[in-house]
Amino acid sequence: MKAMRKYIAIVDGFNYGLGRIMMYGIFVLMGILLWSSYNKTFASPQIWTLEMAQFVMVGYYILGGPYALQMGANVRMDLFYAELSPRKKAWTDCITVLFLFFYLGVLLWGGIESTMYSFKYGWERSPTAWRPYMWPVKVTMCIGIFLMLLQALSEFFKDILFLKSNEDTRDAL
């Protein structure tokens, strides 16, 4: 129990801080897209802006995912879930998180394989005219998926603690 609480505190604290930082990534994305729009209208178009916006969006989305899961901002089938008692919600979450673990595990495995491919075969580059390296985006994706896996485990532990002691640790932060 004590180890679970410590794990929850560490993972939630880290993902909370990272999520709060990543919230400002939308301004970086907006700046890139504004620069792109300005250049397409008044100057010569820049070839890097659209792809860089996609890369920033990957970081914003994938590194902000654990924070969204922690805050309960993930999509659920609330048609049935909303009517359940807190204990039944915890049981439902304990069962459905197993599917999330499997999905994230497969996703992480594929991400690691893709990242290894990127490094193994001459530092893979994008096929566009700008030709940026792909490894930074792939590493970011692997880190984000791993953090999401850690956060899902934290949510699982919160549900277990709630079921064992009726202590709601899900809103600890």
Q: In the prediction, which pLDDT does 173 show?
A: 39
Tell me how far apart the alpha carbons of residues 61 and 66 are, in angstroms, rounded to a whole number: 10
pLDDT of residue 168: 62
Please state the φ and ψ torsions of residue 125, each to the nearest 5 degrees. Answer: -125, 155
Instruction: Determine the pLDDT at residue 72.
Output: 86
Length of the chain: 173
Residue, of 126 and 20, whose pLDDT is higher: 20
Tokens coding 103: 């999905």
Looking at residue 121, the DSSP 8-state letter turns out to be T
pTM, two decimals, is 0.88
What is the SS3 assignment for 125?
A: strand
